[in-house]
């Protein structure tokens, strides 16, 4: 069975847990949540929204599990939901002002993280923000995946993001929070680049 199918089956089964609304939430208090994610407005997307734990009115959520999204729709019908395939974002280019992801990357292999970074770059407007959480380390269990921070930074840079913040320990001691901004030079004309070079030497 392919990796993504395993992930989908895993979350489809977990969605049937009678205690799903208490188990599969992000248990950050408001203060830590604000420190970790900061203010986000405009069109905002959550990757792996699950039961809608962090979504605010009119935000967008994608998830691999139709059952999780069904719960989310019942809890927060004022948000926008789409099922995703576990690696791509089903929205058009330059659509969102912010994309964030909490408690997802710690469950998927690093190649899946790379794909989501590339997809996030695609759907973000130039200057848009990407905010996410992961766990540093070497653990590589089926649904517990830890990443190397240097590789995370390089993946972001290779995709065209500027890293703006790395914070550790918010919510849980082993969580690392990252903020990055899409910086796409191709969005500028040659004259703009020339002016920028002249201005900055």
Express each pLDDT in 77-120 by its tens digit.
Answer: 999 999 999 999 999 999 999 999 999 999 999 999 999 999 99
Domains with residue ranges and CATH for the chain: 3-200 (3.40.50.150)
Give the pLDDT confidence score for residue 123 in this predicted structure.
Answer: 98
Give the pLDDT confidence score for residue 187 in this predicted structure.
Answer: 42
Percentage of residues in the chain having pLDDT higher than 90: 77
The terminus-to-terminus CA distance of the chain in angstroms comes to: 54
Q: How far apart are CA 51 and CA 198, in angstroms?
A: 50
Q: How far apart are CA 131 and CA 142, in angstroms?
A: 24
Enumerate the β-bridge partners of residue 179. 131, 165
pTM: 0.89
Q: What number of residues does the chain have?
A: 201
- Four-residue CA torsion sign, 35, 133, 68, 128: positive
DSSP letter at 92 equals -
Question: Using one digit for the tens of pLDDT, what is the confidence trace for 143-198?
Answer: 999 999 999 999 999 999 999 999 998 888 899 999 999 997 544 333 343 444 44
The number of C-alpha atoms within 13 Å of 61 and in the hemisphere containing its C-beta is 29
| Token duo for residue 34 | 């604000």
Mean pLDDT of 35-63: 94
Residues in CB range of 86: below 8 A, 6 or more apart: 4, 7, 8, 64, 108, 112
Instruction: Tell me the pLDDT of the chain averaged across its residues.
Output: 89
């Amino acid at each position: 069975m392919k990796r993504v199918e395993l992930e989908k089956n895993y979350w489809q089964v977990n969605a049937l847990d009678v205690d799903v609304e208490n188990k599969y939430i992000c248990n950050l208090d408001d203060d830590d949540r604000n420190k970790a994610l900061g203010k986000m407005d405009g069109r905002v997307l959550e990757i792996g929204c699950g039961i809608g734990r962090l979504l605010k009115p009119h935000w967008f959520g994608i998830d691999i599990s139709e059952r999780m999204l069904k719960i989310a729709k019942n809890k927060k019908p004022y948000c926008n939901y789409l099922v995703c395939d576990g690696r791509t974002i089903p929205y058009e280019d330059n659509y969102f002002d912010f994309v964030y992801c909490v408690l997802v990357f710690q469950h998927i292999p690093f190649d899946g993280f790379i794909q989501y970074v590339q997809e996030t770059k695609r759907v973000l407007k130039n200057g848009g923000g990407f905010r996410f959480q992961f766990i540093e380390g070497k653990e590589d269990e089926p649904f517990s995946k830890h990443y190397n921070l240097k590789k995370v930074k390089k993946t972001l840079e290779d995709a065209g993001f500027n890293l703006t913040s790395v914070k550790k320990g918010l919510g849980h001691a082993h969580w690392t929070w990252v903020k990055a901004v899409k910086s796409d030079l191709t969005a500028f004309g040659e004259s703009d680049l020339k002016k920028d070079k002249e201005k900055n030497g």
